[in-house]
Amino acid sequence: MNAVAIESLSKQYPGGKQALSHIDITLKQGEVFGFLGPNGAGKTTTVKILNGILTPSEGSCRVLGTDPVKNPEKVHALSGVVTEHAQMYDNLTGLQNLVFYGSVFGLTASESERRANTLLEELELTEAKDRKLAAYSTGMRQRLSLARALIHQPKVLFLDEPTSGLDPESAQNVNHLIRRLAEEAGITVFLCTHQLRYAQEICTRYGLIDRGKLLASGSLEELRAETSSRIAVKIRASRIPELLPCRKIGEQEFEIEIQSEKEIPRIVRQIVEDGGDIYQVNPRQPSLEDIYFTLTSKQKEAEE
């Protein structure tokens, strides 16, 4: 059974704004799926539809075989959600908040408290657990939200910008936690973000969305193949034969664009045969960011 299955999903808001148009995505269990796109692309709308908070205008979706339109509460029992607007009670402490949400998800008081303490420890909030939420910083709130989403040990985790507002160190910790959850507990993660660098660190597959349209989806390799992005090879050498189509980017530094890594030995041989000394050869695969920009600019061209 797929963890998440989205078929030709569209959403038009009452005002007439088309937030999603005909999206198809499938997630296997245990996958960490990066749903990437700029603000207003339709990421949050997708998460809300998958949790039954919004009703789709067209198409269908399922979370672990359950239709969120028909049985939202059953989906909620299986999923944990972190979004910007899903906050907690300022007049309660961090621990009280978690215990409350634990019991709302059907845990007994002692069970909630035990789970809460474990999660607080993992997210480095133990010291602040008896402080009222009103005194929490944005980053602490964000981490507590993640703890709240995990309190009932969900099978699918929907995270909407979980690392926004976190300092680099906390963001790193949260990322490690997410990856560990997927690897060890087999939790499927649906991660919405516009921080492409963080996404590349933890996701196994990606979907790129812009203005409600899914531009591409697949693993990094698949996306690279799809966008036919070239590999940029940075070479530091004393000289480079003139017949090589390279760009000088600094003192004794050159960049050559190639189709595949197989071309590298030939280039190196040519330089050496020409009498050049090589200090460094550095091929750089197109990053998620490169792919993302290639795709969005393609989309813009197509629209024009």
Kindly state the smallest distance separating residue 97's Cβ from other proteins, in Å.
9
- 110 belongs to the binding site for other proteins (CB under 8 A): no
CA-based end-to-end distance of the chain: 40
Kindly state the smallest distance separating residue 54's Cβ from other proteins, in Å.
5
Site stretch for other proteins (CB under 8 A), options 48-56, 122-130, 214-222, 278-286: 48-56
Distance in angstroms (rounded) separating the CA atoms of residues 243 and 185: 54
Site stretch for other proteins (CB under 8 A), options 35-43, 105-113, 181-189, 245-253: 105-113
In the bound state with other proteins, the residue whose beta carbon lies nearer, of 68 and 207, is 68
Kindly state the smallest distance separating residue 166's Cβ from other proteins, in Å.
19
Which amino acid, one-letter code, is at 195? Q
Site stretch for other proteins (CB under 8 A), options 19-27, 101-109, 204-212, 263-271: 101-109
CA distances from residue 297 to 34, 35, 55, 67, 256 in whole angstroms, order as listed: 20, 18, 31, 35, 22
In the bound state with other proteins, the residue whose beta carbon lies nearer, of 108 and 138, is 108
| Residue 134: count of CB within 10 angstroms of its CB | 10
Q: Looking at 70, 73, 301, 304, which residue binds other proteins (CB under 8 A)?
A: 73
Q: Looking at 8, 22, 87, 219, which residue binds other proteins (CB under 8 A)?
A: 87
Compute CA 99 distance to the chain's CA centroid, rounded to the nearest angstrom: 28
Question: Binding to other proteins (CB under 8 A): which residues in 131-170?
Answer: 148
Task: Give the footprint of other proteins on this chain (CB under 8 A).
Answer: 51-55, 72-74, 76-77, 79, 81, 83, 85-91, 100-101, 103-106, 108, 148
